[in-house]
A and B are shown apart, each in its own frame.
Chain A
Amino acid sequence: MKIVTQAQLNQWLDAIAEEKMLVAPVEVEGKLLYQPVDDSGAIAWGYERTDMSPKTWLFPATEPILTVEEGLETAIRPAQDPEPKVVFGVRPCDARGALAIDALFLDQDPADGRYAQHRAATTLVGLSCPQMWDSCFCTVVGGAPNGSEGLDILLTEVEGGYAVQVVSEKGEALAAGLQGEEQAVKLPEPVLREGLPELRATDEWRAQFDERYWERVADRCLGCRVCTFVCPTCRCFDVRDEVATHRPGVRVIERLRAWDACTVSAYRRIAGGHNPRPTQHMRLRNRFYCKFMYYPEDFGALGCVGCGRCIDACPVGIDILEAVAAVAETAAHPEAVG
């Protein structure tokens, strides 16, 4: 396996940044975010899990997908091609998050053209986690702290540098520029969290749809969008045609796509003001059920990769792993539920 030193890795990243956009974890006012960097010196080395996932680089929080110039003649222009980029330091859970989004946006017919463009323009370079941190539960949902699924290249910290695993063809092309030495090396075993609950099958979730438990969990839900925005797999969006600018005789209209969240009441509100999901418990339950029942049944992938961000970010302590555990508990002891 190829081993690179930190200096070699930095050199490689600096060269990438010269050529295209390099996105990496950066510390901004104490928050870890994936942002474009000019060179490897700006990277927040030693980071654990970032506060936001790298999702926005594949599925931007906001982007115009179409522009209409309306004047004497009307022109419709598709969005510009996304800039080629490398996202560095992607954690294995987040890479699986991209695969989960692929299940809907790429693997269905028709595919989401805009997402496909972003996906094609982006190379994901991963960094193994040496351990599962406080709220991590990737192993509950089929992942691993050192998993390579969904990545193009996976780096794992070893003594004296990083071991390089090339995962895809795209990764192979990029790794060609990475100087290092072939060495026999045993990759370290990540430290796993013990005592995590077992994720039950979709049928168990279906059977517990009407449990009072969901109302009690949602008592404290504020109905904000934090959990869905920090989530590497939440992929719901809103589309709106908005006037961007006026020029003499021309009105420029953008068709914007922006993240949306099933946890807010406005999400499901329809013309006339009716809301088919009128209560907060229905909305919060939808988020959990989307992840563990609807999405796997409809698109073949779990909607949760166990990054634990929603657990840490929720301002009122709603804990998705607690919900997973509650479903397992009720399934094991159905008679105990009153």
Chain B
Amino acid sequence: MSGQKSERVESGTAAPARPTMEAQIREAARAYLEDVAVSCVIGYERGPRGNVRPAFIYEADDVDRLVWGADCNLNLVTYVHNWKQPLGRGQPVPTVAIVARPCDARAVNLLIHEQQIQRDKVKVIGLTCAGTEINGQPRLACQYCDERVPVVYDVLIEAEGEVTAAVEADAYEDIAEMESWTPAERLAYWASEFDRCIRCYACRQACPGCYCFECVAEQVDPHWTSIALELPEKHFFHVMRAFHLAGRCVGCDACEAVCPMDIPLSKLNRKLAKEVEAMFGYRTGDDPETAPPLTTFDPQEQLRL
């Protein structure tokens, strides 16, 4: 967590200590809110019980509520979907600023590509990120992360110390075990994990890439799946969601972070990323122009199989 290193005594030759990430975030937020064009800064604060939670800051006087720590593990870009419409008749689409890790920031590019947001309506307070945690444990994907600076940002919040990539290139060795299983073993594993699912949809709601007005899981006509909160429906929901996110998932694992039943969705996310990378040489959101491979059709396309 930030804040701890700042107490370190610097030796005589060191450069002047950089302000903490928290202080930099607050400063960036203040600057944006004093500029009347930004309606709201979305970051993190600590709730009454000490837990971090999304904070919506409307006034420069409130920026000191903003915090940063390794437990800030949501993808706040998902909230941009609530700010896509004009605030009132005849008014412009509001501009919001968002605190984003490198993985989160790629969702901004994804949503620009999918024509959900306009680049100038979303100010990205990007972080150089040393990795975050889920339930107090280092996040799976962070251990294989080669991306420490966001590909898109308006303000860069730099860590106090040097932040180096966890790996040079991700070999996805962590999912090799799952891949060695027979289809029957994989089915049994995921059925047992999905059995705990309560079909609360928190994963879907926390995902910046899940923004359908009417989800397949809730559609009435056609009625794709039962309303039952039982294993076949849970299984269908998660597999359907995985396929809809293939090549569109940025790997932020917000879905896993919000899951009340601790279902290891990051394993699915990483499997998707690996396949898409291997077949199409594509990583979601590296730029706002390239279409996610499964959303386009090119007759000349050669899969790298």
Residues of A within 8 A of B (CB): 28-31, 33, 51-52, 61-62, 134-135, 216, 219-220, 222-226, 229-230, 238, 240, 242, 256, 258-261, 264, 266, 280, 311, 313, 315-319, 322
Contacts and interface: CB of A to CB of B under 8 A. Distances in A.
B13 interface: no
A270 B49 CA distance: 38
B56 A225 contact: no
A224 B51 contact: no
B47 A258 contact: no
Q: Which of under 10, 10 to 19, 20 to 34, or 35 or more describes the interface residues of B?
A: 35 or more
Contacts of B200: 224-226, 229, 261
Given A220-B53, A258-B229, A280-B82, A230 B218 contact: no
Which residue among A51, A220, A311 has the maximum number of chain B CB atoms within 10 Å of its CB?
A220
A229 B53 contact: no
Given A222-B202, A225-B200, A316-B54, A311 B229 contact: no
B198 interface: yes
B262 A224 contact: no
Contacts of B49: 134-135, 311, 319
A52 B198 contact: yes
Given A229-B198, A240-B227, A223 B205 contact: yes
Given A226-B200, A280-B82, A316-B74, A266 B218 contact: yes
B226 A242 contact: yes
Contacts of B259: 315
Interface of B: 47-49, 51-56, 74, 78-79, 82, 196, 198-202, 204-206, 214-215, 218, 223, 226-230, 257-262
B-side interface mostly:
loop
A315 B223 CA distance: 29
B68 to A, nearest CB: 15
Given A135-B49, A242-B226, A315 B258 contact: yes
Contact of A256 (B53, B227, B261): B227
A229 B202 CA distance: 11
A222 B196 contact: no
A280 B103 CA distance: 27
Given A256-B228, A258-B227, A224 B54 contact: no
Contacts of B78: 222
Given A29-B262, A52-B198, A61 B229 contact: yes
A30 to B, nearest CB: 6
Nearest to A51: B260
Contact of A238 (B51, B82, B201, B227): B227
A246 to B, nearest CB: 15
Contacts of A29: 196, 261-262
Contact of A62 (B47, B48, B214, B228): B228
A33 B214 CA distance: 31
Contacts of A61: 198, 229-230
A216 B56 contact: yes
Contact of A30 (B47, B202, B204, B262): B262
Given A33-B196, A226-B200, A256-B228, 16 more contacts: A31-B196, A62-B227, A222-B258, A224-B200, A224-B201, A224-B205, A225-B201, A230-B260, A242-B223, A242-B227, A258-B228, A260-B227, A264-B218, A315-B257, A315-B258, A315-B259
A266 B214 contact: yes
A259 B229 contact: yes
Nearest to A260: B227
Contacts of A242: 223, 226-228
Which residue among A28, A33, A226 has the maximum number of chain B CB atoms within 10 Å of its CB?
A226
Contacts of B55: 220
B219 to A, nearest CB: 9
